Amino acid sequence: MKEDKCGCRIIHLQAVEEARATSLSLDEFEKLSQMFKVLADPSRLRILFALERLEMCVCDLAALLEITESAVSHQLRFLRNVNLVKNRREGTVLYYRLVDDHVKMLTDVGLTHIREKQSD
């Protein structure tokens, strides 16, 4: 059986120091972790993919995803809290859109990765 650890115990101090020097802060790791947790839900990913193309209101997203407006609002709250979507009001309608192109880049990279690995 293969193990995922070395056959001996030795610490390569230069590698450890280099990794430490280029590491993120604990706060940045926490925020990045929260963002990936939010992205880990299929409904939220479907919302992000829909919003890549155009602004949509909760009613539109609920019809597209075939879930309740309450469920869509709940998911949008998560996405707003990690700054992936924002909204604007037009009269009584609240439209949602991606915060910026980085959000699309995140989903595109993930999709490219899984599609490449499927063909391996």
> Rounded to two decimals, what is the model's pTM?
0.79
Assigned domain for 104 exists = yes
Helix axes 42-51, 58-65, angle to 10 degrees: 120
Assigned domain for 77 exists = yes
Range of the domain at 87: 42-118
Q: How far apart are CA 100 and CA 82, in angstroms?
A: 13
Assigned domain for 98 exists = yes
Q: How far is CA 109 from CA 25, 38, 53, 99, 115, in A?
A: 24, 16, 17, 17, 10
pLDDT tens readout for residues 56-67: 999 999 999 999
Total structural domains in the chain? 1
pLDDT tens readout for residues 64-105: 999 999 999 999 999 999 899 999 999 999 999 999 999 899
Mean pLDDT across the chain, nearest whole number? Answer: 92
